[in-house]
Structure 1
Amino acid sequence: MAVEISNPAELPDPTGFGYSHVARVRGELVFIAGQYDSDAEGNPTGTDFAVQVDNAFSNLGIALRSVGLDFADVAQLRTHIVDHDLDKLAVLGKKIAALWGDRPPAQTLTGVAALALPGMLFEVDAVAVRD
């Protein structure tokens, strides 16, 4: 496998928060730009945070499949949440668990005041690996 996920025993287990400490990769790196909840014209479709998270990850999946990859090939995520709080972290954690189970990729979450477009509440970009 091109992505090996690990969590050193000397560090706290982060998987309950939807990430792993280390992603070791072998192969070609593929960078996926920030994906968000958008319609065909690129506008956010709603104001529900959970729906925006689902749609952003759906769009990430489309981008990955367009180059012959899938979620299992993701080594790192960067997530951005407008007005981040623990409730939003729980929504994100559930989505990460649904996609990666107990082997989530490395991730950095940033709480932000705003994103690129009005109405955007969530954005995710990724680094994936082709073996």
Structure 2
Amino acid sequence: MTIELINPADLHDPTGFGYSHIARVSGELVFIAGQYDSDEHGHTTSEDFTTQVDRAFENLGKALRTVGLDYADVAQLRTHIVDHNLDKLAILGKKIADLWGDRPPAQTLTGVAALALPGMLFEVDAIAVQ
């Protein structure tokens, strides 16, 4: 079994933060590190929760496309919400429905007090199948 670590050129360089965006295992499973509302330097771009969710999933899509996959190839999501509440859950639920319709991947949602960087309100990581 081999592990290939990939950091797409159109996402920020995460190595200074201590992770890689993608870990492809034996060419079958693809692990996507937590994606968030990050610009090309790894900084958040908005204080708005909905905007952060949209940008995080946009970045997830970039990571997936880098290895020839798309949202339909995602088997599992793990989502993390700062100060989770039902309003935020509704925003996330709408985004999941927009991307996966009536066939969403397995998902675990964790409400947290804080995420890795100041200003981060949402993060999503994924396991996809090639």
Q: TM-score range by the shorter chain?
A: 0.7 to 0.9
Q: Which moved more, 1:39-48 or 1:118-127?
A: 39-48
Shift of 1:39: 1.2
Q: Which residue of 1 aligns with 2:56?
A: 56
Q: Which residue of 1 aligns with 2:105?
A: 105
Moved over 2 A (4+): none
**Partners of 2:107 and 2:38 in 1: CA distance:** 22
Q: Does 2:120 align with 1:115? A: no
Partner SS state of residue 98, structure 2: helix
Shift of 1:79: 0.1
Q: Which residue of 2 aligns with 1:21?
A: none
Question: What is the root-mean-square deviation in Å for CA atoms of aligned residues?
Answer: 0.8
**Partners of 2:90 and 2:123 in 1: CA distance:** 16
Gaps of at least 5 residues in structure 2 are 1-26
**Partners of 2:95 and 2:127 in 1: CA distance:** 18
Cα shift readout 1:22-80 (whole Å, capped 9, x = no counterpart): xxxxx811000000001111011010000000000000000000000000000000000
Q: Which residue of 1 aligns with 2:73?
A: 73
**Partners of 2:72 and 2:41 in 1: CA distance:** 29
Give percent identity, aligned residues only.
83
Please tell me the residue identity of whatever aligns with 2:110: T
**Partners of 2:62 and 2:114 in 1: CA distance:** 25
Gaps of at least 5 residues in structure 1 are 1-26
TM-score normalised by length of structure 2:
0.79
Instruction: Flag the structure with more relative contact order, 1 or 2, with Cα contacts below 8 A and sequence separation at least 6.
Output: 1
Please tell me the residue identity of whatever aligns with 1:100: W
